[in-house]
Structure formats: structure tokens, C-alpha cells
Structure 1
Amino acid sequence: MASYHQFLGFALLTLAGVWSPGQCLHDVRISVPRHVLRGRSARLACHYQLGEERLYSVKWYKGRHEFYRYTPSEQPSKKAFPPLGNHVDLKQSTATHVTLINADDSLTGQYICEVSADAPSFNTFVVTDSMDVVDAPRQRPHLSGLRTRYRPGDILNVNCTAGASRPPASLTFIVNDAQLDERSVRPLPALEEGLSGLNRSRLALLLPVTASLAPRVRVRCVASIGAVYWQSAEKSAAVVAPGQHRQQPPHEGAAAGSGDWTGLDSGSDDDSDDADADAELEEQSEGRQHLLHGRGHHQHSVVAAAATAAPADVRHAGELPTVQTGESTGATGGQLCAGSWWPLLATSVQLPMLLAAALT
């Protein structure tokens, strides 16, 4: 009976080793910039853990077309395939990264990274994510409708219009350093820029003026597209509480960012001089454009579930992987090595025979 228990313990340990996910290709993750500025470069990453397996290949697809392949057993180990391969910088691409240069509309879309382990398992994972090429606005946002002074009880009715871009920029209002919630703002229909495909997003501010805003109300509009574009514009106006005399500004046309009065006049509140005022009111710290690339990008990775595929070299270049994928929101976990089914099968066949021998 002692030999039976010893055999049973050995069999369980063997099965535990076969099912250990750390021995197989696992934890495959993709990282693709959500946005990239037109003409710039983008670095796409595909990370993985091989465990005790060897790497057979890493393949990158956009849609159904393969454009980059890394195969360590071949020379050269790095290959690019047209038409998208014309954007691949082979010198800056590796087993875990591919660098795309001169971004244009052809780079917008869904990307697939396929990682395959070597024989005998040819264990394969497929992960996906998407990227958009951005046409950033060439002008900072434009504020219109702000009067020169207000009294408590008046309504701030200000519009903000972003520069033409694709996709349309996101707009946010900030009043006296406080970001406003959706109850005080109202989206307006975007303005199309002819046949260019560019749009100017718009946002309206409707805010009751209170004495707490005195002596000045500062209205700032921030336009942004992901992590690659950020720009703002600011104007200010006097808030005169009941019984308070209007002060004379230090000088007409002072910049809003300096804390001085803007140009206060007794004329109408139209926007005929907005263009000149905007040039005077631009802040060096607030009216700048941030063009960030290659770091700090907000990523939305969608990771596909693992499956076992045939050896990668049975497909022609550019053929979409046949792995059936199911989307989830996290990195893929370990899977049973395909090659490990053989010792498991052998154990399952021999187990009854060994048990019978041990009992006799």
C-alpha cells in the first residue's frame, strides 16, 4: 500500500508540472499609441514571456496584411512587407517593438501582434489594439462672446471653437481655475472644413455670474487630442458687485495671463476685434502646443485570447493569422503547452496499468 501512495504522489506531481503555465509562452501584451501626429513616428510594442519555450516568430499585421516579421532562426531576422512595410524602420525594430515612420492615413486602423513559440508546441498568442493618425489644429482655440464687464445675476455666454483637426479636438472650459461640469456647458455642432475631412469642434458656456467671481472672471478654453495635442486660450472680464465703482484698468489691452485688465471699452460686445485681442491675450505658458510622441500616451489595449496554431511558416507573407480570438480587457494568462499534451496523454494511458500493478 505504501508503494501505491508513493506512485499516486508522483503522478500528481507529474500532472502539476505539465499544467504549469510558467513553462509556456504566456503573458502576451500589446502597447500601441492611441494617437500619432501626421508625419511623426510611432513605436508599437508586443511584450511576452516565453517560459521554457523558444521564440519561433513575432508577426505584425494591420488589418489582414502582414507588414513586419521577426524570426530569430532566419537571416535576416527582420523583414518588412509592402505596402505598409514602407513605413517600417527596420533599424529601430526588434523582437518586441516595431517603429513606424512618416505617419499618414494608411497607418490608421487595427493592429495585430502574433507571437509563436518554436517546436514542438508552436504555441501562439494573438493580441490587438488600434491607432489613429491625427491632423492637429494649426491655431489655438478661439473664444467669442465674452463682454468687458458683468454684474452678479448676469449670464456668461461664451463660445469656444477649436482649430480644424481630425479627429475633432476635445474642449474644456475652466473659469477662475475651476473646471466646469456638464451642467454649465453645451456641445455645439462641429463646423466642417470643406472637403478636407477636418472639423472644428465647438462648446458653449452658460454660467450665472455671482459675487464670488469678483473682481475678475477668467475664462479659459482647453483643446486637446489624446496625449499628442494640447492648446488653450484665455480671456478675462471685470465683475462689478452692487455699489462697487468700476476701476480704471492699468492700461488698455493687457494680456489676460498677466492678471491685468483686458481692453475695456464702452463700445458694443461684438467680436470684431477678437483676432487682435487673441494675439494679445495668448499666454506663453497656456497658449503653447504640446506635441508629445513616444511617451505618456494613453493606451487602450484589447488583448485576444490564446489558441494553438499551425507552424507560422505554412502561411504566406501577408496572410492573416487563422487563430480564433476572443477579446478581453486584460493581458492573456498562461495556457497549456501544446507539446505537453503528449506526456499527459502517456500518463493517462499508463496510469490504470500502473495502478493495477501496484495493487497486485
Structure 2
Amino acid sequence: MDISRLPRRGRERERERERVTCTASLKNLRIVAPERVRLGDSVLLTCSYDLEDAQLYAIKWYFEDEEFYRYVPKKEPSHDTFSVRSIQVNVSGSNMHDVTLVNVRRKHTGRYKCEVSEDQPRYDTKLQEADMFVVDVPDTEPRIMVDKQRLAEGETLRANCTSGASRPAANITWSLNGKLLDNRRMKYSTRTQTLHTGTGEDGRQRTRSWLTVDTQGLFEDYRIRLRCFAQIQPVYKVSSSLDVRQDGPYVASPHSHRKCCSGGTYNIRNR
């Protein structure tokens, strides 16, 4: 159509129609990636988008600025992988939206990018990115130590807990007799220190927490059960426990009985 022959208002409407017609269909691009994953795990990265009436030309995945996976639906085969920092791609678990990484290592901590291109005639391209941290979790349980394992009621309990080495350092919290520390019910203080066990970017760290608490009113069945939690959200949580026993004299009620416990541990792994 020769729009030069149209009246001015008609020419403006026709130009607006052409502008709308040429507007890209690619919208709502979003990358979904876990903020933290465990060393050695498999990881699913997802790139969601809306092409409306357009067709997909290609989706490309980058680690930092290096392409490691490409999906082009019109090619045969449609998948391509590229050697980038030993990233391993499970091709059977990857498609026009997802890419699956296997056996992730520390060096795969960084920024991941998803680039989507729509097919002709527009070839519009958009990119989104997300950061992922590979956590090197402790290989040992937290260790609790106390100044004295027998205390009279009202004596001060002094304990410390040290997490296994990890990257990043674990966060430590305490519970007494199954209840988290509460300054409304008990008098206590804590302090925490991060201990470096290596050097450089690969250096692992331990966390040590010191606990001081007044034992008045805290003994249950002549003991206080200390539990120390080491946690790296959301991929790791492990605890250890230790019993501090009450030193006499004490009066036993008909409903209480003396228990002898050696303490225990439990391990929660969130995948």
C-alpha cells in the first residue's frame, strides 16, 4: 500500500498498525535456578518464556559469558553441547526450556544466562540471568564439648560446638531439652567465630559457637540435653546432642525417673 496517498490521519494509523505488526512476540522471559546446590548434585535450570504466535529459533545457555548448551528445534540433532569448565550436561534431561547439569563442582559457582531467540521474520532475542552457588557441605557432624558433664542446679553450663569444614561456613544454633534458646525462659549468652581451614577461594571454614547458660530450673529428669545444629540453607542441616546430668542432691518425684542417655545425632538432607 502506498500510504503517501492517504490523508495525514490515515497515514499515522497505518504506520501504527505496521509498528504493532512488527512488535516482537517474545515475552515474559524468566530463568529459574536454585541459589544454592550441593557439590556433586544434579541441577535443573529452567528458562520460561512466552512466544505467543511466534516459533522458537534457538535457546542458548551460558556460564558467565561462555556458551555450554544450545537447543535449535529445526536442527537434527537439536542439541549441541560445548566444553566449558568441565560442565556436564544431561542431554536427555534438556530441551527447549530446561538444561540439566550433573555432578556440579565448586568451579560451577557463578552466573548462568539463558538467551532465547524467536524464528523469522523477527528473530527477536532476549536474555535473562541468575546466580548459583555450589555448596561444599561438611563431611563430619558438629562436635559439642562442655566444661563439666555433671552440674548442680544453678551452676553455669559452658559449652561449645564446632561444625565440620565447609564452603560457605555453616550457621550454628542451639536447643536445650528440645526447645530453642529463649531469653524469656532462661539466662544465656552465645558468641560465634568463623575458623579458616584453607586459603584462597577454595578455603573451607568451620564455625564455632560458645554457649553459657544458667541451669536454674532447666534440668528435666536430672539432665539437660544440649543439641547443636549446623545448617547451610537450604541444602544442609545436621545436629549432634550431648547430655549434661544433674549432680545431687535432688528430690525425685513419683512421675520422674532417672535416665541414662549417651546422646545421639541425626542428619537431615534437603534435596
TM-score normalized with structure 2 length: 0.78
Which residue of structure 1 aligns with residue 195 of structure 2?
190
Larger helix fraction of residues:
1
- Kindly indicate which of the two structures has a greater share of residues assigned to strand: 2
Alignment identity in percent? 32
Report the CA distance between 1:44 and its aligned residue: 1.1
Taking the aligned partners of 2:20 and 2:260, their CA distance within structure 1 comes to 75
How far apart are residue 73 of structure 1 and its match? Answer: 2.2
Q: 1:229 — aligned with what?
A: 236
Which whole-Å CA distance do the structure 1 matches of 2:246 and 2:28 have between them?
58
> Which runs of structure 2 are paired with 1:140-159 in the superposition (5 Å)?
140-145=141-146, 147-159=148-160
Q: Distance in 2 between matches of 1:189 and 1:102?
A: 28
Distance 1:86 1:103, change over 3 A: closer
Partner of 1:206: 212
Asked whether the equivalents of residues 211 and 239 of structure 1 are also in contact (C-alpha less than 8 Å), the reply is: no
2: distance between equivalents of 1:39 and 1:147? 40
* Secondary structure, counterpart of 2:107 in structure 1: helix
Alpha-carbon distance between aligned partners in 2 of 1:194 and 1:110, rounded to the nearest angstrom: 23
Deviations 1:275-296 (A, max 9, x none): xxxxx5224xxx2252x43xxx
**TM, length-normalised to structure 1:** 0.60
Q: Per the alignment, do residues 212 and 165 of structure 1 end up closer, same or farther by CA in structure 2, a change over 3 Å counting?
A: closer
Q: Matches of 1:205 and 1:49 in 2, distance apart?
A: 53
User: Which secondary structure state, in structure 2, belongs to the residue aligned with residue 288 of structure 1?
Assistant: strand
Q: Gapped runs of 5+ residues in structure 2?
A: 1-8
Match of 2:267 in 1: 288
* Inter-partner Cα distance in structure 2 for 1:79 and 1:181: 56
Change (3 A) 1:189 1:165: closer
Deviation at 1:181, TM superposition (A): 6.5
Aligned equivalents of 1:57, 1:137: Cα separation in 2? 40
Tell me which of the two structures has the higher relative contact order, counting C-alpha pairs closer than 8 angstroms and 6 or more residues apart. Answer: 1
Compared CA separation, residues 237 and 131, structure 1 to 2 (3 A): same
Q: Tell me if the contact between 1:80 and 1:86 (Cα under 8 Å) persists in the aligned partners.
A: no
CA spacing shift, 1:236–1:86, aligned 2, 3 Å: closer
Q: Which structure 1 residue ranges, 5 or more long, are not aligned?
A: 1-6, 251-259, 263-279, 294-360
Listed one character per residue, the Cα deviations across residues 42-69 of structure 1 (whole Å, up to 9, x for unaligned) are: 1111111222222222111111101011
Contact 2:38 2:134 in 1 (8 A): yes
The CA RMSD over aligned residues, in Å, is 3.4
User: Does the CA contact (< 8 Å) of 1:240 and 1:246 recur in 2?
Assistant: no
Instruction: Tell me the distance in 1 between the aligned counterparts of 2:92 and 2:68.
Output: 15
**Change beyond 3 A, Cα 1:66–1:148:** same
What letter is aligned with 2:54? Answer: E
The answer to whether the 8 Å contact 2:159/2:210 transfers is yes
Q: In the alignment, is the contact (CA less than 8 A) between 1:62 and 1:110 conserved in 2?
A: yes
Instruction: Kindly indicate whether the alpha-carbon contact (under 8 Å) linking 1:150 and 1:239 is maintained by their aligned counterparts in 2.
Output: yes
